[in-house]
């Protein structure tokens, strides 16, 4: 079995969509191992998004992610990494498929950074790395 790190980003928390995201994860049959609301500091976020360092959207992305609390979640299940990426939908919420979190609940707000409600680890390696970063004790 497999674990993934899910974040409900500050836009999702501000819009009151924490319950909706957890509902979809649980309804799909995944198990919640950890759920914690917290405001991430810059160091954690820079580490979390290290692969994007140097890209034009890196700074706005880190600022946005630090702009309010996020819900950090570890979920477990067979192929949950891939499964949650499908539940989340494509990165751009304007074109993300209806039925997905981003497709049903997100859109472009004309802001500098893509506010797309959720994050999900994209590989077993990044999942282990991100879970260690957000939940060192787990």
Residues labelled catalytic: 119
Distance of alpha carbon 105 from alpha carbon 63, whole angstroms:
22
Q: Going by C-beta distance under 8 Å and a sequence separation of 6 or more, which residues neighbour residue 132?
A: none
Stretch that binds Mg ion, among 1-9, 18-26, 36-44, 119-127 (CB under 5 A): 119-127
Say how many Å lie between the first and final Cα of the chain, rounded: 16
Pair 55, 62: CB distance under 8 Å: no
40 versus 61: smaller Cβ distance to ligand GTP: 61
Q: Does 93 bind ligand GTP (CB under 6 A)?
A: no
Here's the x/- map for ligand GTP, 38-77, by CB under 6 A: it reads as: -------------------x---x----------------
* Order of strands, sheet of 118-120, starting from the edge strand that comes earlier in the sequence: 31-38, 70-77, 2-8, 118-120
26 versus 63: smaller Cβ distance to ligand GTP: 63
Distance of alpha carbon 124 from alpha carbon 3, whole angstroms:
8
Here's the x/- map for Mg ion, 63-102, by CB under 5 A: it reads as: ----------------------------------------
Binding residue ranges: 9, 57, 85, 91, 102, 116
């Amino acid at each position: 079995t497999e674990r993934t790190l899910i974040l409900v980003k500050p836009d999702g928390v501000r819009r009151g969509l924490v319950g909706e995201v957890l509902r979809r994860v649980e309804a799909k049959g995944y198990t919640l191992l950890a759920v914690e609301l917290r405001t991430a500091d810059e160091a954690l976020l820079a580490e979390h998004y290290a692969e994007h360092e140097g890209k034009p959207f890196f700074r706005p992305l880190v600022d946005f992610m630090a702009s309010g609390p996020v819900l950090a979640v570890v979920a477990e299940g067979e192929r949950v990494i891939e499964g949650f990426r499908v539940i989340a939908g494509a990165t751009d919420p304007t074109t993300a498929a209806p039925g997905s979190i981003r497709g049903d609940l997100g859109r472009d707000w004309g802001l500098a950074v893509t506010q797309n409600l959720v994050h999900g680890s994209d590989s077993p390696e990044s999942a282990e790395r991100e879970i260690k970063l957000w939940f060192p004790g787990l």
